[in-house]
Amino acid sequence: MASVFNKGLYVSVFGESYSNAIGVVLDNFPAGIKLNVETIKKDMQFRAPLKGYVGASKRKETDEFEILSGIFNGHSTGSPICAVIYNKSLNSSHYNKIKNLIRPSHADYTAKVRYNNFNDFRGGGHLSGRLTAPLVFAGSICKQALKTKKIEIFSHIFSVGKIKDYEFNSLNFNAKELRNIKNKPIAVLNDEIIKEILNEIEDAKKEGDSIGGIVEAGVFGLAAGIGSPIFDGLENFIASIMFSIPAVKGLEFGKGFKFAKMKGSFANDEFYIKNGKIKTKTNNNGGILGGISNGMPIILKVVFKPTPTIFKEQNTVNLKFKRNEKILCSGFHDVCIATRGVFVVEAALNVAILSSLIFQGEF
């Protein structure tokens, strides 16, 4: 199980950081969806390491994919779509050096215990952030299906360190603005904070350190009535995919943890009807009541912990010699994983929403 999401859609992610390839199978994807390969390429490139900006990983990941099945004459066939991304001949020898030194806050230790030392430890193996590439592929495919129902999903960096962006609920953004977010150097709503965030990242980088961040995402155009109570609510669907993204440690909907200090009279979203359409005046619940969409935008936030890899000496354990040692990591890594994670969150949300719709027979 592990790497299969299976509600409505089946999304089976495979591969290890240094195996021949990584990839994904999407099963139960509806037949007859027009699929633009250029769109997928573009979506994949957003997630790929950014060359331009300070603090980005410099490992040259080639995320060129090959579609093996499931698309015929430019449309989905209804049969499984499989895409693979080949791992080009990378040198993994530097991982051998630190093979027995478990990196703090990484999954080196837990994977070894889980798989009885048979896991492919190189570069994190199957637990590498690289495995988000297939998820982005899946998200791009799902996005194109959702578009046929006029459902659009956007995400942006809400915060890096102490710098905060606007919230989707705070202002009225038009579709054009939202579609442009991902083209910015940092994917934010408020252009004025881009420089501040770059500085924040630069500062962390200078110290050989990393920094955390929060991503906000929204689903626009989803009709009311999607999702089910108890275990198959929209929140459950979304959560079970969001926590598949490495470094994600929290998820909240609407006001989320702010609800703790709120009174009901302020928190409740009052309904009103206008032109026969029912809406709520506020959207504190992030568009979900009882696990079911209420027709307002689905709004959620996801927190990314700081990249575990830092260029400072840390204490750890040498598993071979069973003794305490120091570790100093090297290699290429993002200073703030949220700046790429923002695209993974968007992809994951596309998968979650399409899955919910298929699950309910709405596709």
Q: Does 171 bind its own copies (CB under 8 A)?
A: no
CA 269 from chain center: how many Å?
Answer: 28
Which of residues 304, 340, 345, 353 is near its own copies by CB under 8 A? 304
To 5 degrees, how large is the angle CA 201–CA 216–CA 199?
A: 15
Residue written as tokens 């989707």?
168
Of residues 3 through 42, those in contact with its own copies by CB under 8 A are: 3-7, 10-16, 19-23, 25, 27-28, 31-32
Query: Rounded to the nearest whole angstrom, what is the least distance from the CB of residue 323 to its own copies in the complex?
Result: 7
Where does this chain touch its own copies (CB under 8 A) — which range of 47-55, 57-65, 68-76, 175-183? 68-76
Q: How far apart are the first and last CA of the chain?
A: 25
10 Å CB burial of residue 337 (0-12, 13-18, 19+) is buried
Non-local (6+) Cβ contacts of 212 within 8 A are 160, 161, 303, 304, 305, 306, 336, 338
**What three-state secondary structure class fits 16?**
coil
Query: Rounded to the nearest whole angstrom, what is the least distance from the CB of residue 208 to its own copies in the complex?
Result: 8
Non-local (6+) Cβ contacts of 266 within 8 A are none
Query: Rounded to the nearest whole angstrom, what is the least distance from the CB of residue 319 to its own copies in the complex?
Result: 8
Q: What is the Cα–Cα distance from 345 to 143, expressed in whole angstroms? A: 13
Residue 175 or 262 with smaller CB distance to its own copies: 262
To 5 degrees, how large is the angle CA 132–CA 348–CA 231?
A: 125
Query: Rounded to the nearest whole angstrom, what is the least distance from the CB of residue 333 to its own copies in the complex?
Result: 10
Which of residues 57, 155, 293, 350 is near its own copies by CB under 8 A? 293
Which of residues 109, 147, 196, 199 is near its own copies by CB under 8 A? 109
Q: What is the Cα–Cα distance from 252 to 323, expressed in whole angstroms? A: 40
Where does this chain touch its own copies (CB under 8 A) — which range of 48-56, 147-155, 180-188, 300-308? 300-308
Query: Rounded to the nearest whole angstrom, what is the least distance from the CB of residue 196 to its own copies in the complex?
Result: 14
Which of residues 94, 114, 184, 195 is near its own copies by CB under 8 A? 114
Of residues 205 through 234, those in contact with its own copies by CB under 8 A are: 207, 209-214, 224-233
CA atoms within 13 A on the CB side of 299: 17
Q: How many residues at the interface with its own copies, by CB under 8 A?
A: 151
Decide: 29 and 145 in contact? Cβ < 8 Å: yes
Query: Rounded to the nearest whole angstrom, what is the least distance from the CB of residue 8 to its own copies in the complex?
Result: 9
Query: Rounded to the nearest whole angstrom, what is the least distance from the CB of residue 174 to its own copies in the complex?
Result: 27
Residue written as tokens 């957003």?
46
Q: What is the Cα–Cα distance from 342 to 253, expressed in whole angstroms? A: 16
Of residues 313 through 342, those in contact with its own copies by CB under 8 A are: 314-317, 322-324
Of residues 118 through 137, those in contact with its own copies by CB under 8 A are: 118-120, 125-127, 131
Which of residues 41, 53, 80, 99 is near its own copies by CB under 8 A? 80
Residue 90 or 317 with smaller CB distance to its own copies: 317
